[in-house]
Structure 1
């Protein structure tokens, strides 16, 4: 079954970011996860100008294909790739609170990996997470402790619904 493609307009993204900025209070650092978490984190930083802004990057290219998941197959391989390729930016010492931002949490593997990276560098910091959409059932199955930590605009079944954002451009 091919997923339904659902375009998300900027106005929906902006409304969610404004609500998120109001709810989250002050955080010391906003971390956007490359690729699609970066535009969300950048826009959120304009609404919370006192927070440090950083980007979690991948050390290898992700290629021209849109993000997709092999729901039947190699999630373990993807998790191993995340452990090997995700990197935190250089950040100031003494940060006490983080908000990790991504577009969609399907299983929560990426957010969990970034959370662990932040916790290893800043063991005393509080860590919150936000994504525009979350496949809550899959996240709960894969990482039960993350469900309560991830703020999201909408729940989805990411196998049936694929969200496309304004910044998801086709490669040249």
Structure 2
């Protein structure tokens, strides 16, 4: 099993191997006027994924394959946090939000391939992703998707908290 830790917010973070501290990925999202572009680079500095977001565009490119975010991480229904990923290896994976964590399973076999633990300021822990051996061939897609989905989940939680506070 490979355990990766995000050093900061999911879309602006260095991703390190928790076992040895080795840098695995660098995720950066500079804010641009009217949108943003998240770039994921591997340890050698190669761009492995790019996510472009604006009011009208939400496109993700992984390994040269460019798709609309909802085509890459398809929702079950409009209000669902759960997603279905069409990975570069041709397989489909289910992303489920369960008790403040993401669980990723192979759609065909039901086998768990990765899971996350959310960051907690209270407990001093960082956002962590554990990838089982079956998930290693699609590691770039898993890391990129976890970063995007965790950022979206945090944004949704912030909106919900703001609504509660205003009531």
Structure showing the higher helix proportion among its residues: 1
The one of the two structures with greater contact order (alpha-carbon pairs below 8 A, sep at least 6) is 1
TM-score normalised to structure 2 length: 0.28
TM-score normalised to structure 1 length: 0.28
